[in-house]
Amino acid sequence: MSDAVAKPDAPSSDRAVTGIRTASLLRALRDQAREPAELIRLREMDAAHYVRTISNEISLLPQYRAAEPDVGDALQVLREQAREPIAPVRLREVGTVQHIGDGVATLSGLHGASTDELVTFPTGTQGLILSLDRDHVDVILLGQEEGVQGGDLVTRTNQRLQVPVGPAVTGRVVDPLGQPLDGRGPVAAATSAYLERVAPAVVERAPIDTPLHTGVKVIDALVPIGRGQRELIVGDRQTGKTSLAVDTLLNQVSGDVLCIYVAIGQKKSSTAAVIDTLRQAGAMAYTTVIVAGPDDPPALRYLAPYAGAAVAEFWMYEGRDVLVIFDDLTKHADAYRELSLLLRRPPGREAYPGDMFYSHSRLLERAGRLNEDNGGGSLTALPIIEMQRGNIAAYIPTNLISICDGQIVLDSGLFNRGQRPAVDVGRSVSRVAGAAQTPAMRSVAGKLRLELSQFEEVARFVRFGTDVDEATRRQIQRGQRLRAVLTQPLHRPLSLAAQVVLLLAVTEGYVDDLPLEDMAAFEKRLVAGFEAEHPGLFQEISLTGKLTAEVQEALVDTIASLQPDAGPLSGSPATERHPSPEETPAVAGVAR
């Protein structure tokens, strides 16, 4: 019974002991406080002793003894926390939208940003830094601007714009950012490339001496294009510029030349027609189509040709031959002018920015042929531009003519008279010239340009009704047939051997007695007959590119078998013949 009574009093005894010890500590502190300051300063030297004393006294208190932690548990918790990854501290530089509209934005901040760097807006839309200023940066939007407003924070990505390249892109229709437009799912490209890249140095290049056959007689004979060349196609609206480029693309069906077609600001119906033509001909197997429509943001129309060049450069450095068609750079220049004016850049000639020439030169300088040490690949560029009423001296045409290695000028007058393709031989030139021709084509086309030029001069003279002698009549007769044989149907490119056979037959005068209206049918029969009767020679021309005496003899025999009653076809030029009254007006028709 006594134990039961004593147990409740145990806690009270502990509290009494605790109170006594606390009281003693307080008295000691009061006594020390009454001591002189000199003594207190002396005892500061033994402060550690008092700290240990107080700690020991506190540790004797019951409540403190009960709260002693388990050291083993604490160590286990620390070990578990050490195993967990610590989130790194990330610092991101942000800017503020000061102004946005029409596909461009002006940002403050971002003092560490660089040109061609990507930034991200709060809506997820990305932008490309186009220019830097002391207190702001100019950005072009790569998507829709809905939801972005002044005051929004924009973050840097420290990344440059890249596009997918490689085999996965071949045969696809994509936008300049690599997003699919053909409904076949995302582009599963394992490799990407920067849009902007420094052009190959001079020491990395090789001379251009390999022909790029277009399948168009007038081009391959008079304005030859080499692999690695930059040949400009210029003409008024609706003169067949795109058709000429597409025919060149269709002629690469052998697959040794990969193709990229870049549609910049073209009507969707026109682009769809080109894609349909490529698919029907089986050309999409080696072609990539990049489309920036007229209703796309101006930034995409500005970036489209650089995306095409990036895709082509990947194959060039892989040792392949690539053809890229920019259709057309007039729309690209207009898009860049629009962006520059929206960004309040000072306008120059025809309101284009001052670096308009540089934007095109750094694009087309990426074309060329690499030497064997760098893979031996080539990038051939065929930029297309549009003239206004034949004004070839305008700002953009003169810029590109000075950048490129030649130009193919399409004349609206020839087009309206039925000459297709309407190539103006007098103003068209290739600075590579015969270096990019096979020996067979060079031999048959050597005097073709001279004869055509002489025919044009005589035709203009005869237009006034002046009487001419027999030699002049014969010259007119030959020129009419030259013009007729250089006419070619749309999207029907010819092989090298077929072109050589046809041009040889005309330049040597073997068909001077043939009526003009029968020329088209005779061309088909001549090519088909020569290939059927002499398949070995036909293949030899295509493989070796050489024209032998045996080929000429076989050509004469084939023409004789096709037209046994046409006149002298024994290998010498046709005898002189006066043109009929029906043929004489045709001369004026050609010159009109």
Cα dist from 399 to 188, 345, 355, 392, 426, whole Å:
38, 20, 11, 10, 20
Work out whether the CA dihedral 166, 172, 176, 179 comes out positive or negative. Answer: negative
Helices 10-34, 47-59: inter-axial angle, 10-degree rounding? 170
Q: Give the domain-ending residue among 437, 472, 487.
A: 437
Identify whether residues 143 and 194 lie together within a single domain. no
**DSSP letter, residue 517:** G
**What CATH number is attached to the domain comprising 118?**
2.40.30.20
Are residues 138 and 154 in contact, defined by beta-carbon separation less than 8 angstroms? Answer: no
* Cis? peptide before 493, omega within 30° of 0: no
Cα 182 from Cα 89, distance rounded (Å): 42
The residue written with tokens 């009093």 in the block is: 9
Q: Give the domain-ending residue among 437, 456, 476.
A: 437
Identify whether residues 33 and 71 lie together within a single domain. yes
Identify whether residues 498 and 463 lie together within a single domain. yes
As a whole number, the mean pLDDT across the chain is 83
Tell me which residue of 250, 241, 248 sits closest to 227, measured CA to CA.
248
Phi-psi map region of 245: left, alpha, beta (phi>0 left; psi -120 to 50 alpha):
alpha
Question: What amino acid occupies position 448?
Answer: L
Cα maximum dimension of the chain: 158
Task: Tell me whether residue 384 is in a domain.
Answer: yes
Q: Give the domain-ending residue among 27, 49, 78.
A: 78
Instruction: Tell me if residue 200 falls in helix, strand or coil.
Output: coil
For residue 107, the cross-strand partners are 97, 137
Identify whether residues 462 and 537 lie together within a single domain. yes
Identify whether residues 292 and 428 lie together within a single domain. yes
Cα 217 from Cα 421, distance rounded (Å): 10
**What CATH number is attached to the domain comprising 584?**
1.20.150.20
Cα 397 from Cα 403, distance rounded (Å): 10
Identify whether residues 279 and 334 lie together within a single domain. yes
Alpha-helical (H) ranges within 223-261 are: 241-250
**What CATH number is attached to the domain comprising 382?**
3.40.50.300
Task: Tell me whether residue 86 is in a domain.
Answer: no
Task: Tell me whether residue 84 is in a domain.
Answer: no
Task: Tell me whether residue 401 is in a domain.
Answer: yes
Mean pLDDT, residues 281-295: 94
| pTM given for the model | 0.79
**Neighbouring C-beta atoms of residue 310, cutoff 10 Å:** 26
Contacts of 65 (CB under 8 A, 6+ apart): 59
Q: Is 123 exposed, middle or buried, given 0-12, 13-18 or 19+ CB atoms closer than 10 A?
A: middle
Identify whether residues 45 and 120 lie together within a single domain. no
Identify whether residues 51 and 104 lie together within a single domain. no
The residue written with tokens 């030297």 in the block is: 45
Q: What percent of the chain has pLDDT over 70?
A: 82
Question: What amino acid occupies position 91?
Answer: L
Structure tokens at 533: 């009767």
Question: What amino acid occupies position 238?
Answer: Q
Cα 547 from Cα 378, distance rounded (Å): 27
The predicted structure's pLDDT at residue 240: 92
Instruction: Tell me if residue 430 falls in helix, strand or coil.
Output: strand
Mean pLDDT, residues 393-407: 94
Task: Tell me whether residue 88 is in a domain.
Answer: no
Least confident window among 33-47, 88-102, 271-285: 33-47
Are residues 531 and 496 in contact, defined by beta-carbon separation less than 8 angstroms? Answer: no
Task: Tell me whether residue 386 is in a domain.
Answer: yes
* Count: domains in the chain: 4
The more confident residue out of 237 and 554 is: 237
Identify whether residues 471 and 433 lie together within a single domain. no
pLDDT per residue over 414-452, tens digit each?
Answer: 899 888 899 998 889 998 878 888 888 988 888 888 888
Cα 519 from Cα 566, distance rounded (Å): 13
Residue 527 CA, chain-centre distance (Å), reads: 38
Identify whether residues 261 and 200 lie together within a single domain. yes
**DSSP letter, residue 505:** H
Cα 217 from Cα 500, distance rounded (Å): 9
Cα 320 from Cα 380, distance rounded (Å): 11
Cα 264 from Cα 244, distance rounded (Å): 17
> Of all residues in the chain, what percent are helix, strand and coil, respectively (each to 5)?
45, 15, 35
Residue 180 CA, chain-centre distance (Å), reads: 15
Identify whether 230 is a catalytic site residue. Answer: no
Q: Which residues form the domain of 579?
A: 444-591
Identify whether residues 457 and 545 lie together within a single domain. yes
pLDDT per residue over 512-566, tens digit each?
Answer: 888 888 888 888 888 888 888 888 888 888 888 888 888 878 877 777 777 544 4
Model confidence at 409: pLDDT above 80:
yes
Task: Tell me whether residue 89 is in a domain.
Answer: no
The more confident residue out of 141 and 91 is: 141
pLDDT per residue over 304-351, tens digit each?
Answer: 999 999 999 999 999 999 999 999 899 999 999 999 999 888 898 899
Task: Tell me whether residue 83 is in a domain.
Answer: no
Identify whether residues 238 and 358 lie together within a single domain. yes
Cα 307 from Cα 285, distance rounded (Å): 19
Alpha-helical (H) ranges within 68-216 are: 71-83
Are residues 526 and 559 in contact, defined by beta-carbon separation less than 8 angstroms? Answer: yes
User: Of 205, 362, 431, 463, which is the active-site residue?
Assistant: 431
Supply φ then ψ for residue 321, to 5 degrees. -95, 130
